[in-house]
Amino acid sequence: MRLVTFRKKRGDGGNNGRLGVIPAGGGEVVEISGSYLDAPKSMLDLIARDAEALRIIRMNMPHLPARYRLEDVQLLAPIPVPRRNIFCIGKNYRAHVNEVSFVDPAERKEDNVPAHPVVFTKATTAVIGPDAAIPSWLDDTDSTDYEGELAVIIGKEGRGIAAADAMAHVFGYTIINDVTARRLQKCHGQWFIGKSLDGFCPMGPCIVTADEIPDVTQLTLKTRVNHELRQNGSVGDLIFDIPTLIETLSRGMTLQPGDIIATGTPAGVGMGFDPHRFLQPGDQVEITIEPIGTLSNPVG
């Protein structure tokens, strides 16, 4: 199922997001929130419920009256305000590790592939939805860069989750642009500030539930800037795969429903070019992972 959070383009000013489904045929959004007795009110509310909630949505959907044409709605980030920071994995594609090592002499080594997953977070206030402008003007170091990533949405709480059991904890998948102010990233020891400027976490356009992606390693990710292909990666090339990431994060820390794990970016970021090709106002960044779709954002 393709789940979205949306607002009507007209007359929906104060609404902070309706929960909807885009049916298989596309073209419209069927509203779930408020559509039947005890319907989930938001994406986080739905994710916190058990699988029965998805079954009820499937059963009710053909009969629900609130339907909007896609052109009449504004898609928001599927989880507009995450409960806690977005977990992110750094250096998780070999070719990306090499391009970063190549441009940063401090990191140049024979083999720079990390022995354990590199984990950092992005502030929840960085999240924006599809088509919202990335405010590059907040980066006074003029080094705003894109990182197309597959993101995993946790559905079932757990601590000490074994890799073999990890996929049962996955609710679904979305796309994240781990936008980064490169020079800020480097100058504070931790990457947190350079990764957390307002608007530096575009997310969407939807969450596809895990049952519709039986083998996530078959997915491919493409990032285009102004229609030029910059990143073309395969999720099968992750150094640390999704079960390993869930096992690692949950070893001593409880993962909660609605937690988001951005799995890392493949090669082709702007910093990997010589000279660097950072984002400029007026650029358009599009990240495509089918069947999730395309996350498109202009740079402001």
Residues that bind Mg ion (CB under 5 A): 147, 178, 265
Residue with smaller CB distance to Mg ion, 76 or 179: 179
**Which segments within 100-259 are labelled E, that is strand?**
118-122, 127-128, 144-145, 148-154, 170-177, 180-181, 201-209, 220-225, 228-234
Task: Give the amino acid at 288.
Answer: T
Residue with smaller CB distance to Mg ion, 147 or 283: 147
How far, in Å, are 79, 171, 209, 232 from residue 153 at the CA level?
10, 5, 9, 22
Closest-by-Cβ residue to Mg ion is: 178
Is residue 127 within 8 A of residue 77, CB to CB? The reply is yes
Nearest distance from C-beta of residue 220 to Mg ion, angstroms: 17
Nearest distance from C-beta of residue 126 to Mg ion, angstroms: 12
Strands 144-145 and 220-225: unpaired
- C-alpha R_g of the chain: 19
Task: Give the amino acid at 206.
Answer: C
Nearest distance from C-beta of residue 229 to Mg ion, angstroms: 19
Nearest distance from C-beta of residue 261 to Mg ion, angstroms: 11
Residue with smaller CB distance to Mg ion, 54 or 150: 150
d(CA 123, CA 199): 10
- Exposure of 273 in the CB half-sphere (CA atoms within 13 A): 13
Nearest distance from C-beta of residue 142 to Mg ion, angstroms: 20
Helices (H), the chain: 43-48, 51-60, 94-103, 182-187, 192-195, 242-249
Nearest distance from C-beta of residue 98 to Mg ion, angstroms: 15
Residue with smaller CB distance to Mg ion, 156 or 183: 183
Residue with smaller CB distance to Mg ion, 147 or 259: 147
Residue with smaller CB distance to Mg ion, 180 or 296: 180
d(CA 275, CA 270): 9
Nearest distance from C-beta of residue 263 to Mg ion, angstroms: 9
Residue with smaller CB distance to Mg ion, 206 or 261: 261
